[in-house]
Structure 1
Amino acid sequence: MERLTMLHTNDLHSHFENWPRIRRYLLTTRAQVQATGATVLTFDLGDHVDTAHPVSEATNGQKNVQLMNQIGYDGVTIGNNEGLGFLRAKLDHLYDQANFPVILGNLRQAGTTKLPAWASDHRIVVTAAGTRVLILGLTAPYELTYPLAGWDPVQAVPALTDLLARYAAQADVCVLLSHLGYNVDQKLARRFPQLDVIIGSHTHHLLVHGERVNQSLLAAAGKYGQYVGRIDLTVDGHHHVVAAQAGVVRTATLTPLSADAAEIHGLTALGEGILTEQRVAQLPVTLDANPTGHPQLVREGLHAIAEYAGTQAAVLNAGLFLRDLPRGVITQNQIHQLLPHSMHVMTVTLDGYNLWRLVQEFEQARLFLRKFPQKGMGFRGKIFGELNYLGIAYNATTRQVTWRGEPLSPNRQYRLAVVDHYLFIPFFPTIAIVGENHILYHDLLREVFAGYLSRHYPLD
């Protein structure tokens, strides 16, 4: 019998407070298991990078890759934070210095059938006993946004059908690195009997003891580096898996060292130092943040996205703005702390009737959303906050909506600026159902706001 151990991490999202203990666990456990004669493979499932952390923002994710190089992963796949958090020009160089292979089989260069230059669609590892392990990687195929970033995604089922047809016969054991989500992993396990192990991520699910779905063992280790996963396979002399089990180790139970705090702080200090050197604007007054009000800071944000999008109206939620901007010189570090979200400006075009309907949705949700703890889909704040309008007014008594002081005309077309986040949350269905929506993908919201401040409040 041969023993094969797989260690895995996922969805770190630049939570480096857990990284020193994760690193020690991976390196120590690999050495210990290898000393018993077993084969060890180490994987990461993506979303290691999150530019909400200043060092990930300041280095375009390069610091994350340097940290991953400390492990020597046998394979990683990407998450949507890597794939959509960077435009293609940056993503094409994210892994330039990586000492590990990026395995990704369902992303193509736009308009072609070519893989990204930095990725392979599979890897086969042969153990000392001759067992051939096929490693595949798939990421969540966001059809709306990947083309805007320069890529064509392929859905999981057709991608996996093709990959298994080409490579499954060359291997004894098949492992899928999945950044697809728990429900998709379950469906793939039912559909593809060739998959011995599916290591999951994306939906931040935790499978403490794994889960068996038909012939497949599913494993997952939560989020933010709070857990590290371990899978142990027993393979017979014919290279067939005869036993499989999965588990996790809680990072908080691993012993910290005195040097950990300095390393963690150093990563933050490095990022903030780089960003602080980049001066943006000079404000004549302090702009206060107020997530449940209508502060001038949000009004400046409304003007910023309207100017960027070329619209006469805009809508933003005050919970996007996380900190005050003090009077004086403003740096990129302050802008990053203010707007750490991975969001873009989006234009929505509606006729007068549907714009009226959308504003009714805004108003129906207003009180609920004012202190709603919004999570995910690019939002990196705490609460959604108060809705603020530019160019639109609402009369709560008559339910009338006006556009720059004039009543709406039912058949006239109106174009307003919002953030793309509104398309992906369930509170404003009119946008997704009837809106003509265009995501302006080239710049993040904070980049749009920084550009606005630099033009209207230039440095001396």
Structure 2
Amino acid sequence: METLRILHTNDLHSHFEHFPKIGRYLKQAQADKSVDQILTFDAGDFMDRSHPLTDATFGQANIDLMNSFHYDAITIGNNEGISNSHEVVERLFDRAKFPVILANLREEDESMPHWCVQDKLLITKKGTRIALVGLTAAYPLSYKPNHWHVKMLKETMDQVLPRLAGKYDVLILLTHIGLNMDRFLARHYPQINLIIGGHSHNLLKHGEQVNGVWLTQTGKWGNYVGNIHVELDDHHHVQKIVPCVESTSLMKAEKADEKVIQGYEQRGQEILEKEKVADLPAKFADNRQAAIQVSLDAIANFAGTDLAMLSSGLFLAPFKKGILTKYDLQKCLPHSMHVVRSTLRGSDLWRLVMEIEKNRHYLEHFHLQGMSFRGKIFGQMYYRGIKFDPVSRIVYVNGQEIDPQTDYQIAVLDHYVLVPFFPTLAIVGDNKFLFPQFLREVIGNYLAQEYPINRK
């Protein structure tokens, strides 16, 4: 008989406030002598550019901390693969002391990225062969403009599993695809023993079994750590899988923790404050509307459009008079979102405006539950180049009544394409996701041009 203890995390999202406790828990658990072997995995979104230290170091601080957690393997989430430029991802794992398992991402020429492998075979001390396969969320609209080729899940599994057949005793998937897609894999590939998942932020305190396959997920932000007990017979066959989670809030805190956590924030702040962006005039002093208006100009300029729209809830703080640093921008707009150039027929643009106006009062105070990394509330929608007459229901574009048959281009955000409030954008919009700059980088570059430092 053989016993394994599998520790796992997912969707840490740079919530460094939990890292001291998690680090101590993993170190103690990894020294457990009551089982034959301990394995430690992460299922993606370990980083989030909304934290100053992650942003300032392009995720390298996260890699250093993950090294201290002694992972045996990880996969990546959309926050690693999409929220970073292609160049940043290529260098992200240079210092990693763990393998990255990822079967469904390729370079544009469909070659394997140098920083990952599609699967890996682990041999335990007692000779059990464990096959690991990694999968990340397949978002072609976002990966393609970032110069990656992402493969669909079924296509990937149908290629990988036949190649692994007969080479393993236990099959474990590290996935960042969400619980529904984990269930899909369990229903269609019963040879899987265990899926350690992430992305949808589900908390499965005691796992979930689908078609004989165990699914696990620990919620989000490091609030819980996964702890799975596995028993195998002398022929290396799985006899029992018992998932559970450990609450980080119940883990013992130490006096130095708060200082360490504050140090992460301070270190990121110090790096970002050294990078000055623009010298803003007095009209920006604590004026949120001024920040929104110049940001509309910025995304329109970036997308090459006359029209643009932005919601006020994205702006967590106004800009300020005087020197604006990258830290100021990061605190105002921490979200790792991208500009989208959407082409719409005039009749469809009219419908989009109607969707916005219909939902305006509802969205003004709508709490972004589950999407809080894009602000706390949705807020008011602001337009550039668009006016709406609520009495006549006429939409004006650059002062002229909209032509139902003319094509128009408008700068929006990937957020607006993905949320359910504006179906017109997702259903009929010809949407081009613009990479690699984030929203705050687009705005920062525009402000640097319009209000350069040391201008005369």
Interval containing the TM-score (normalised by the shorter chain): over 0.9
Total equivalences in the alignment:
454
Q: Distance in 2 between matches of 1:36 and 1:245?
A: 16
The aligned residue for residue 255 of structure 1 is: 252
The aligned residue for residue 4 of structure 1 is: 4
TM-score (norm 2): 0.97
Deviates more, 1:265-274 or 1:354-363: 354-363
How far did residue 380 of structure 1 move? 2.4
Q: Is 1:91 aligned to 2:85, yes or no?
A: no
Q: Please say if residues 36 and 125 of structure 2, whose CA atoms lie closer than 8 Å, have aligned partners that are also in contact.
A: no
Q: Distance in 1 between matches of 2:51 and 2:313?
A: 18
Within 5 Å, give how 1:301-320 maps onto structure 2: 301-320=295-314
How far did residue 335 of structure 1 move? 0.6
Q: Distance in 1 between matches of 2:384 and 2:371?
A: 24
How far did residue 375 of structure 1 move? 4.7
Q: Please say if residues 285 and 327 of structure 1, whose CA atoms lie closer than 8 Å, have aligned partners that are also in contact.
A: yes
Deviates more, 1:305-314 or 1:82-91: 305-314
The equivalent position to 2:153 in structure 1, one of 145, 151, 156, is: 156
Q: Is 1:184 aligned to 2:181, yes or no?
A: yes
Amino acid at match of 2:14: S
Q: Is 1:381 aligned to 2:375, yes or no?
A: yes
Q: 1:266-315 CA distances to partner (integer Å, 9 max, x unpaired)?
A: 11001010000000111111526678xxx122111111111222211211
The equivalent position to 1:344 in structure 2, one of 335, 338, 358, is: 338
Which ranges of structure 1 fall in alignment gaps of 5 or more residues?
none
The aligned residue for residue 140 of structure 1 is: 137
Q: Distance in 2 between matches of 1:186 and 1:290?
A: 48
Q: Is 1:335 aligned to 2:333, yes or no?
A: no
The aligned residue for residue 63 of structure 2 is: 65
How far did residue 136 of structure 1 move? 1.1
Within 5 Å, give how 1:49-448 maps onto structure 2: 49-112=47-110, 114-287=111-284, 295-375=289-369, 379-448=373-442
Q: 1:72-124 CA distances to partner (integer Å, 9 max, x unpaired)?
A: 21000000000101121110000000000001111111132x22110011111
Deviates more, 1:247-256 or 1:394-403: 394-403
Q: Distance in 2 between matches of 1:437 and 1:19?
A: 38
Q: Please say if residues 298 and 316 of structure 1, whose CA atoms lie closer than 8 Å, have aligned partners that are also in contact.
A: yes
How far did residue 379 of structure 1 move? 4.7
Give me the CA root mean square deviation.
1.4
Q: Distance in 1 between matches of 2:24 and 2:141?
A: 39
Q: Distance in 2 between matches of 1:289 and 1:427?
A: 30
Q: After TM superposition, where is structure 1 displaced by more than 6 Å over at least 4 residues in a row?
A: none
**Secondary structure of the equivalent of 2:334?**
coil
How far did residue 439 of structure 1 move? 1.6
Q: Please say if residues 39 and 72 of structure 2, whose CA atoms lie closer than 8 Å, have aligned partners that are also in contact.
A: yes
Q: Distance in 2 between matches of 1:324 and 1:377?
A: 21
How far did residue 377 of structure 1 move? 6.2
Q: Please say if residues 343 and 379 of structure 1, whose CA atoms lie closer than 8 Å, have aligned partners that are also in contact.
A: no
Q: Distance in 2 between matches of 1:227 and 1:64?
A: 18
The aligned residue for residue 28 of structure 2 is: 28
Q: Distance in 2 between matches of 1:298 and 1:367?
A: 19
Q: 1:143-182 CA distances to partner (integer Å, 9 max, x unpaired)?
A: 2111111111111122122211111311111111111111
Change in 2 beyond 3 A, CA 1:385/1:447: same
Q: Distance in 2 between matches of 1:344 and 1:336?
A: 14
Amino acid at match of 2:446: Y
Which ranges of structure 2 fall in alignment gaps of 5 or more residues?
none
Q: Please say if residues 173 and 192 of structure 2, whose CA atoms lie closer than 8 Å, have aligned partners that are also in contact.
A: yes
Q: Distance in 1 between matches of 2:91 and 2:229?
A: 34
Q: Distance in 2 between matches of 1:327 and 1:449?
A: 16
How far did residue 36 of structure 1 move? 2.6
Q: Please say if residues 13 and 47 of structure 2, whose CA atoms lie closer than 8 Å, have aligned partners that are also in contact.
A: yes
**Secondary structure of the equivalent of 2:403?**
coil
